Amino acid sequence: MPLNSSQKQSKGGSHITEEEPSAELVVDGKRIPINHFVQDVFVGIVSGVLDSIHGVDEEWTVAELVLKRA
């Protein structure tokens, strides 16, 4: 069985699932579909900001950002 881009094969031949970075957009409770390019842009920007903030663990796995307009 071929591996997809989110799977790697271990030395023993079993498949290990390794999730690629992803982003999800939810506006006023409604999930808005975004393509892989937009996900990559969001992940790159937010990851870069998180890497520069003192106190954020280098090994973070999930980050949530909530924006509110007045």
The SS3 call for residue 30 is strand
| pLDDT tens for the 70 residues of the chain, in order | 343 444 444 455 555 556 789 999 999 999 999 999 999 999 999 999 999 999 999 999 999 999 999 8
Q: Are strands 30-32 and 7-9 parallel, antiparallel or unpaired?
A: unpaired
- What DSSP element (H or E) covers 49? helix 36-52
User: What residue segments make up the domains of the chain, in order of their start?
Assistant: 7-52
Output the CA torsion 16→37→21→61 (10° steps).
Answer: -170
